[in-house]
Amino acid sequence: MNIEEYKDVWVFIEQRDGQIIDVGLELLGAGRDLADKLEVNLCGVLLGHDVKDSASDLFSYGADKVYVIDDPILEKYRTETYMKAVGDLVRKYKPEIFLYGATSNGKDLASAVATEVMTGLTADTTLLDVNLEKRLFEASRPAFGGNIMATILCKKHRPQMATVRPKVMKKPEPEEGREGEIIEEKITLKEEDLRTKVLEIVRDAKKAVNLEEADVIVAAGKGIKDEKGFNMVKELAEVLNATVGASRDVVEAGLCGHDHQVGQTGLTVTPKIYFAIGISGAVQHVVGMQNSDMIIAINNDPEAAIFNAAHYGIVADAFQIVPMLTEEFRKALKGEEAGGVTANV
Amino acid sequence: MNILVCIKQVPDTKIIKVNPKTNTLDRSSAPAILNPYDAHAVEEAVRLREIHGGKVIVLSMGPPQARNAIRKCVEIGADEGYLISDRRFAGADTLATSYALFKAIEKLQHEQGIDLVLCGKHAIDGDTGQVGPGIARRMEIPPLTNVIKVEEVDLEGGKLKVRRKIENGYELIQSSLPCLLTVEKEINEVAYSPLPNMLRAARYEPTVWTVDDLDDVDIKQLGLKGSPTIVGKMWPPEKSSGAEMIEGEAKEQVEKLLAITLEKRELFGVKGGEK
Ligand SMILES: Cc1cc2nc3c(=O)[nH]c(=O)nc-3n(C[C@H](O)[C@H](O)[C@H](O)COP(=O)(O)OP(=O)(O)OC[C@H]3O[C@@H](n4cnc5c(N)ncnc54)[C@H](O)[C@@H]3O)c2cc1C
Ligand SMILES: Cc1cc2nc3c(=O)[nH]c(=O)nc-3n(C[C@H](O)[C@H](O)[C@H](O)COP(=O)(O)OP(=O)(O)OC[C@H]3O[C@@H](n4cnc5c(N)ncnc54)[C@H](O)[C@@H]3O)c2cc1C
């Protein structure tokens, strides 16, 4: 492998039901910085069916080029088709760095592509940089339950690939009028030759919890005691149009499903605001939410460890303060809501 | 139906300590356990065997102590266990790990036939989730990741249907057999082991293979040498300086908190009904 042949920073642009999702745009922001440092182009990779028209939107988010494969066979994500398409692009155009969102499908794809083209892949990164002297990509990730950060390097193989957690990088402001080049490619697979088929996609926008993409999370800990306390937290979430999170103890008490659990054995979340109500702040919980932009902790124990992780702390009885907060927020936000919204419980 | 389950022994990450001088992990500080997701994978394999017959074979790569993790799988109900253990495997990243496991699977495939491969969603130490899809690519079989339910196995038709967890929902996907699944915890509850399993497990000795027991191995693709990624440096994450405490009576606290959070009021609004 002649690594000098490999240039440009690529970003996989994930779409869902034809709509580009935010993580790809966030990575264009992060990728722009890397590309500028390396003085190379930033390129998006967009696959799907009837997605061609969205390609030009990516220029305003910083892309210089967009590789597009638009084919009915790519309408729904499948590892076998996407891996082949992306693998072919990599072999043909030779990127130096390739970023993917660490979503279910983004991780699945990146892992398959890494083996397909035999290169290194760093998982779930939260910090990206380049060492210009050595011209090396430095991708860092939390490891061992968040107890340590590790920088992973890929010295002798190209592309240098990483999956990046959603919401960690900032989505850039679109710059109107920015232009670029669209490069269309074809996929050579035929439906008859494929071994997998997506029969149905069930997205329950109302019922399903989507903690990983929530902007605001109101999370309940064992301090809320029982169903009554949990409902009190849910009500605050509803008023804030937020998603309900929970500690493991609350899930184990049967107050909500495992999909709500934040932490080492639950989900890693990075909302703009995280309310931790009656949560003690065990390390297994904190690793799942410590990268939130703003953490607000409410606990009646001034010594609770959660106050070390939080940006703002309130020592108070949740049963007194939460209903007051709900009431005041309701008043303050009245008239601003488009009405009829329920929290994602 | 013969089902192969890849299982890993991991340090219990809730207890592991970081050596503050060297910023490396003190692995001896944490007991070794069976990766929790892999326990669910074995449980699912046992469940499928009870319906469709066949065998559950577990495979691990690791040091000799990893035999204990294999015994744990026998307790859950696995029939056979194999450990590949050799210094030449050491220091493997996910690409080299999937290569070594693939070589062992190839041998087992050849000797007894494998219809389905199961892995955990991720291992709680390395935590990449990359090994399963890597093995599938090497075997040239479809990977179905994040499986929360096996809906149907049609052995005669050579296919199965599973639910894959995706963001805010799931998808129902069909695949030909053999294929590889990585499983989520929701897929099942790991049942208490019946006494006969426990007794069998206590005495069970897995088959141990070294590199030399595998066929046509390219040594350059193993261990540290076969790993494109290396860990450059490790450091403890920044400790937050602690919260700014919002003092006062409850009413004051509420007012102050509202003032802070309402600066971001757009977050609480509704944008186009999405979310
Ligand atoms: C392998 C492993 C994995 C784990 N994974 C996870 C995980 O993914 N997620 C997770 O959350 N946990 C996880 N845990 C569990 C974790 O260690 C803690 O036990 C758990 O997070 C504690 O939950 P909690 O904070 O809700 O409850 P507690 O620790 O019981 O804390 C309750 C808090 O509420 C406060 N409180 C009580 N009454 C009031 C009141 N009236 N008003 C205000 N505050 C009040 C108390 O001061 C206390 O701080 C894991 C543990 C292990 C061993
Ligand atoms: C701090 C740190 C960071 C790392 N980061 C990366 C990284 O970003 N990229 C990278 O390529 N490597 C990385 N590694 C190396 C990686 O941990 C090892 O390659 C490890 O052997 C396998 O990866 P995993 O633990 O992530 O497994 P995962 O891919 O998370 O495991 C998924 C499943 O694969 C199966 N499996 C995994 N390992 C074995 C095994 N030894 N035997 C049997 N079955 C197994 C199990 O079914 C398991 O549930 C890192 C290591 C360290 C110490």
Instruction: State in Å: Cα A265 to ligand 1 middle.
Output: 13
Annotated binding residues of A: 247-248, 261-265, 278-285, 299
Residues of chain A contacting B260 with CB distance shorter than 8 Å? 312
| Torsion angle defined by CA atoms of residues B68, B72, B77 and B82, in that order, rounded to the nearest 10 degrees | -30
Contact A199 B172 (CB under 8 A): yes
Q: Which residues of A touch B176 (CB under 8 A)?
A: 195-196
Residue with tokens 């691990």: B60
- Residue ranges of domains in chain B: 3-226
Structure tokens given for A243: 């998603």
Whether the Cβ atoms of residue A164 and residue A101 lie closer than 8 Å to each other: yes
Query: Rounded distance, CA A27 to CA A171, Å?
Result: 7
Closest-CA residue, ligand 1 atom 49, reads A280
- Kindly list the residues from chain A whose CB atom is less than 8 angstroms away from the CB atom of residue B130: 107, 110-111, 114, 121, 123
Cα distance between residue A42 and residue A128, in whole Å: 15
With beta carbons under 8 A apart, name residues in chain A contacting B222. none
Cα–Cα distance for residue pair B150/B269, rounded to 1 Å:
39
A94-121: b (≥16 Cβ within 10 Å) or e? bbbbbbbbbbbbbbbbbbbbbbbbebbb
Q: What's the pLDDT at B22?
A: 61
Please name every residue paired with B159 in a beta bridge, in sequence order, or none if there are none: B154, B176
Domains of chain A: 3-193 (3.40.50.620), 211-333 (3.40.50.1220)
* Whole-angstrom Cα Rg for chain B: 23
The low-confidence residues of chain A, meaning pLDDT below 70, are: 145, 205-209, 335-345
The answer to whether residues A10 and A43 touch, using CB atoms and an 8 Å cutoff, is: yes
Percent pLDDT > 70 in chain B is 91
B186 touching A (Cβ < 8 Å) = yes
Q: Are A121 and A114 in contact (CB under 8 A)?
A: yes
Taking residues B114-122, report their average pLDDT.
97
The residue nearest atom 24 of ligand 2, judged by CA position, is B126
Taking residues B136-151, what's their average pLDDT? 98
Q: What was the pLDDT predicted at B24? A: 63
Residue B263 CA to residue B252 CA, distance in Å, equals 17
Token duo for residue B144:
């179905």
Q: Which of B19-23, B58-62, B135-139, B248-252 has the lowest mean pLDDT?
A: B19-23
Contact residues of ligand 2, CB 6 A cut-off? A 121-123, 141, 143, 150, 152; B 6-8, 35, 37-38, 60-62, 92-94, 97, 101, 119-120, 122-123, 125-132, 229, 231
Q: How far is A78 from chain B (nearest CA, A)?
A: 9
CA distances (Å), origin B223, targets A113, A154, A198, A280, B133? 20, 15, 36, 41, 18
Q: Which residues pair with B245 in a beta bridge?
A: A313
Q: pLDDT band at B23, cuts 50/70/90? A: low
Q: How far is the CA of B6 from the centre of ligand 2 (A)?
A: 12
Q: Are strands A127-131 and A136-143 parallel, antiparallel or unpaired?
A: antiparallel
The answer to whether A62 and A134 are in contact (CB under 8 A) is: no
- pLDDT reported for residue A344: 47
Contact B128 A216 (CB under 8 A): no
If we measure between CA atoms, which residue out of B138, B124, B107, B70 comes closest to residue B211? Answer: B107
Tell me if A237 sits within 8 A of A218, measured CB to CB: yes
Give the distance (Å) from ligand 2 centre to CA of residue A134. 27
Q: Measuring CA to CA, which residue among B31, B29, B25, B26 is closest to residue B11?
A: B31
| B133 lies within 8 A of chain A by CB | yes
Cα(A223) to centroid(ligand 2), Å: 36
ipTM summary value = 0.85
Ligand closest in space to the Cα of A225: 1
pLDDT tens digits, A85-98: 999 999 999 999 99
Burial of A275 (0-12, 13-18, 19+ CB in 10 A): buried
Q: What is the pLDDT of residue B273?
A: 35
**Domain B3-226 CATH assignment equals 3.40.50.620:** yes
The reply to whether A142 touches chain B by the CB within 8 Å rule is yes
Mean pLDDT in residue range B224-244:
86
Where is B50: in which H helix or E strand?
helix B36-52
3 state SS of B193: coil
Q: Is the CB of A64 under 6 A from ligand 1?
A: no
Residue A146 beta carbon below 6 angstroms from any ligand 1 atom:
no
- Is A331 touching B (CB cutoff 8 A)? no
**Which ligand 2 atom sits nearest the alpha carbon of residue B92?**
19
Encoded tokens for B254 = 């509420």
Distance (Å, rounded) from C-alpha A46 to C-alpha A207?
29
CB B54 within 8 A of CB B32: no
pLDDT of residue A258: 86
- Residue B69's CB: how many other CB atoms inside 10 A? 24
User: Cα dihedral sign for B136, B193, B13, B207?
Assistant: negative
C-beta neighbour count of B71 within 10 angstroms: 21
Stretch B188-210: mean pLDDT: 95
**Alpha-carbon distance values, A285 to A166, A178, A209, A340, B109 (Å):** 19, 42, 18, 32, 41
B91 in contact with chain A, both atoms CB, cutoff 8 A: no
pLDDT at B14: 65
- Least confident interval from A206-210, A322-326, B24-28, B232-236: A206-210
Tell me the chain B residues in contact with residue A329 when contact means C-beta distances shorter than 8 Å.
258, 268
Predicted confidence at residue A201, as pLDDT, reads 93
CA of B102 vs chain A CAs: smallest distance (Å): 12
pLDDT at A335: 61
Amino acid at B73: C
pLDDT of residue A234: 96
C-beta separation of B4 from B117 below 8 A: yes
Is A323:B254 a contact under the CB 8 Å cutoff? Answer: no
Q: Which positions ≥6 away from B97 have C-beta within 8 Å?
A: B61, B131, B134
Distance B81 CA to ligand 1 centre (A): 37
Name the packing angle between helices A104-117 and A79-93 (round to 10°). Answer: 50
B142 upstream amide cis, omega within 30 of 0: no
Task: Could you list the residues of A known to form a binding site for FAD, using ranges.
Answer: 247-248, 261-265, 278-285, 299
Q: What is the pLDDT of residue B19?
A: 66
CB A197 within 8 A of CB A134: no
Structure tokens at B150: 């096996």
Q: What would the DSSP string read from start to end of B99-150?
A: HHHHHHHHHHHHHH--SEEEEES--TTT----HHHHHHHHHT--EEEEEEEE
Evaluate whether A284 touches A147 at the Cβ level (below 8 Å).
no
Q: No. of H helices and E strands in chain B?
A: 6, 15
Full DSSP string of A229-277: HHHHHHHHHHHTT-EEEE-HHHHHTTSS-GGGBBSTTSB----SEEEEE
Looking at residue B221, its amino acid is: Q
Q: Are A328 and B254 in contact (CB under 8 A)?
A: yes
Residues 40-99 on A with a CB inside 8 Å of B are 76, 78-80, 83
